[in-house]
Chain A
């Protein structure tokens, strides 16, 4: 509601309306506008994070094994604690709003202080979590490293790690006719009419780490 609060002080020297900004007819119109504005703002936020959610979904779909392993590297106790802190601070904030509406200043202050305390508490817990990750160099970007215990976990669940094998590599380039759909399409149309599943596609749809069990079929026919 910051915009409402801001515009409240838009006095402009008009004495007729002390309680609302000059562009509004009355406080009710001003309040309605602020509410609608807030909803519109929330809509933009949903879309802003929407792109990130799409990214999340794409990578989760593409690297299920990584996701599985990643989930074993989290500390569920600290996670629970932070979830609780977040939910509880929402409660205290909501109570603060209610207290403000009822004019209960003391309760309002207590609630706000509690909310702030929890905000800092959240950060403190995060510091512990992230500090640990940082020491293991589990950080996004250039310095990322897979910690040894994650590799153990992997082998425990999926078998021994094997480097990508040579049989994955050959791309039957010479025989392709034309591949307008690129590496993620059904694949190039071969001269005999069947559709080749490309290496790029296979690799992207699995994790790049392959396991002993994983077999790779080199081509798949799609009937046209």
Chain B
């Protein structure tokens, strides 16, 4: 963010040997699989999370297909149970958790802070391999018979009764956990120690702040999940009573331990998306972000308070009602920092000159959907309402509004925004706009009816349902079909753009931020000279006459 670069945001940085970038630095398979370059590792992650997204998506289509009719006619109930488990496990642990951090975070954090790489490139590559090994375990389970416990692995069903490959799936989740621990550890050290001269904490892009908060959760929460699923496997394999009451164990202990990770984990999924949105909103409204410090600290607040609310998943489990009261109260509190962000984004937009490029459509979509998801979270935080709608489609709709409407929209918005930087090519704007709008529409058609049907009392995780719920379920399946097609578009036009897309300049959006000051795609060492930062972040002119 040197002042000189700011006055000419679109001026491509001079690069000694143009065309020499991280993509052209070796073409062999080995140069990819043994790379220590954070940008290439980001691409490895991009390919692998996309594969898992497709797998999770296929499972989801089967679920929605089954739910067109009230009777269980497409899948047997065993298969149905396996489908929603594969869907949940794959989407949560193998797509959403690594999506933004391991793809965009990996690629961008060193660029954004003016570093040559992450602090520990080998650990970074190791994290990808660990992820792949964990993924292979899980895929093996899925292909050889599946697992039917739901992504929550509740005991004692999972540890003592389920006749599926629970232990192996637990091993898969256990292993993958370490990949996100390594990513988080790497980010924390990098952000602390490797910032360019002049890049103080309060000049960091909010994307980096969000990833810092995410990393804290990753390194402090994930280990607990790892030991919890390990205990499930131990109980299952060796019959050591930990969670099964018949063996003297405590099933509620499992729920406490599981949600101690898995509630914070929902913030692992949404915080990076919030970081993306902060960047998009300010770039496309050509405004310095409103309330920078509030947004930065609200990320940290979310990470901290997020560790204290897990009991809201146990309102009906047999947890002490006094604990329930406290958890309910803290759950209301955790919504405050999210609201702070939303208000600040809105204030940034106020009277700004908004341009509706594709990333901005995603950002706006995110704001609307996250708002609904967050507000319904407050409904669920109120114990009395939660007892009514717990384990219904209302909860399903709540978290899909946040995880799909929020996190996936943020991921796609970020992918479009940084695609020119990553590949050096522009994507086709027209197609991208169409698919963004379709995704928004399809999403709402899929999940809004689920709020209603859940409020009416349709329970989740059954392959049959009462006939009066059919209309809403058909709407939902129709929406899911639109959504499925709309998600396929970007795969095609992104691939198309690799060959036919317009060549991207180094700063196609006229954005601030160090990553835009190096050529697209960046050279292997990121910057030819160590950048020196002399300006505040998001130093957009209040009114800029024209985009370049």
Residue ranges of A at the interface with B (Cβ–Cβ < 8 Å): 3, 6-7, 10, 21-25, 29, 32-33, 36-37, 40-41, 43-45, 47-52, 54-55, 58-59, 62-63, 140-142, 180-186, 204, 208
Contacts and interface: CB of A to CB of B under 8 A. Distances in A.
B221 A47 contact: yes
A48 B220 CA distance: 8
B115 A36 contact: no
Contact of A58 (B119, B123, B253): B253
A32 B191 CA distance: 12
A7 B319 contact: no
Contacts, number: 124
A29 B250 CA distance: 47
Contacts of A23: 110, 115-119, 121, 194
B117 A22 contact: yes
B318 A36 contact: no
Interface string B255-275: 011001000000000000000
B252 to A, nearest CB: 6
Given A37-B119, A182-B316, A204-B250, 18 more contacts: A7-B120, A7-B121, A10-B36, A23-B116, A23-B194, A24-B119, A24-B194, A29-B193, A33-B120, A43-B220, A44-B185, A48-B223, A51-B223, A51-B257, A52-B231, A55-B231, A140-B238, A185-B320
Contacts of B189: 33, 36-37, 40
A40 B321 contact: no
B351 interface: no
A67 to B, nearest CB: 13
Interface residues of B, number: 53
A-B interface, 8 closest residue pairs, ranked by CB to CB distance from nearest? A182-B318, A48-B223, A23-B117, A51-B227, A141-B238, A47-B223, A184-B318, A33-B119
Interface of B: 36, 110, 115-123, 181, 184-186, 188-190, 192-194, 219-224, 226-228, 231, 238-240, 242, 245, 248, 250, 252-253, 256-257, 260, 316-321, 324, 387, 525, 530
Contact of B120 (A29, A37, A43, A141): A37
Contacts of B228: 51
Nearest to A141: B238
A145 to B, nearest CB: 14
A40 B219 contact: yes
Contacts of A63: 248
24 contacts: A3-B122, A10-B121, A22-B116, A22-B117, A37-B119, A37-B185, A41-B185, A44-B220, A44-B223, A47-B223, A48-B226, A49-B227, A51-B224, A52-B231, A54-B253, A55-B242, A55-B257, A142-B239, A181-B318, A184-B319, A185-B318, A185-B319, A204-B245, A208-B248
A189 B257 CA distance: 29
A54 B226 CA distance: 14
A65 B240 CA distance: 19
Given A51-B227, A141-B238, A7 B220 contact: no
Nearest to B383: A180
B193 A36 contact: yes
Given A23-B121, A180-B316, A62 B224 contact: no
Nearest to A200: B245
A191 B538 CA distance: 64
Nearest to A32: B193
A43 B219 contact: yes
B253 A40 contact: no
B120 A142 contact: no
A94 B17 CA distance: 50
A76 to B, nearest CB: 25
Contact of A185 (B192, B250, B260, B321): B321
B320 A45 contact: no
A55 B234 CA distance: 13
A33 B181 CA distance: 16
